[in-house]
Amino acid sequence: EAGVVQSPRYKIIEKKQPVAFWCNPISGHNTLYWYRQNLGQGPELLIRYENEEAVDDSQLPKDRFSAERLKGVDSTLKIQPAELGDSAVYLCASSIIAGVVADTQYFGPGTRLTVL
Amino acid sequence: SQQGEEDPQALSIQEGENATMNCSYKTSINNLQWYRQNSGRGLVHLILIRSNEREKHSGRLRVTLDTSKKSSSLLITASRAADTASYFCATDLYNQGGKLIFGQGTELSVKP
């Protein structure tokens, strides 16, 4: 069974430029998560999808970040414009289902973003 | 904000020794999960322990949960160099709709 796929693995951009990250979750997983992980820290949730619906985007900086999950499968996270403080690893995860209680999450390898 | 606090932040041991990592949290939970992250990789799920469970085992891993003290520990027995990684606890807070809050992690180094 294929795991969570993310691309690109690395991205270096100048500040104020846009950037997009792509995630393909494990087949059959209804719930998809985007996390940001700063150096030396644990992941912090940005947004969670149940199928196509964003059920928790309370920590997504909506002035510059956007996300979509069309057809309830693949997802894209975008930053426009990027700032220096956005340098981090962006992790995508999926789980079979989530609701009242958190299920086991399966993580992709992440995209390491460097903003110069 | 991160609820789980892990201790120690870093741990260095010799192969064959046991490694113990601790996680404390502040509010009631549904479950607590432990994940491992090798350098430059994503996180890998190790164990999930529910709030009504006190101990779980998986191979060389043993997790305990003390809800009265709001703490958990992860024990790795007979460590190997391949166990070198960062270990994170993640709490599923009660009444938060299945949201996981990750701690800052313990960086474990196992020297051959």
- Spans in chain B with pLDDT lower than 50: 1-2
Summarize pLDDT for A36-63 with one digit per residue, the tens. Answer: 999 999 999 999 999 999 999 999 999 9
Residue A101 has pLDDT above 80, yes or no: no
Residue B106 CA to residue A81 CA, distance in Å, equals: 33
Give the separation between CA A32 and CA A26, rounded to whole angstroms.
9
Q: If contacts are CB pairs under 8 Å, which of residues 10-69 in chain A contact chain B?
A: 40-45, 48, 55-56
pLDDT surpassing 70 at residue A78: yes
Mutate to test the interface with B, among A31, A59, A103 (most CBs of B within 10 A): A103
Q: Kindly give the pairing relationship between strand B10-14 and strand B106-111.
A: parallel
Cβ contact, residue pair A103, B88, below 8 Å: no
Q: Which two tokens stand for residue A112?
A: 């390491």
Interface test with A, best of B1, B43, B45 (most A CBs within 10 A): B43
Query: What residues of A are in contact with residue B23 (Cβ under 8 Å)?
Result: none
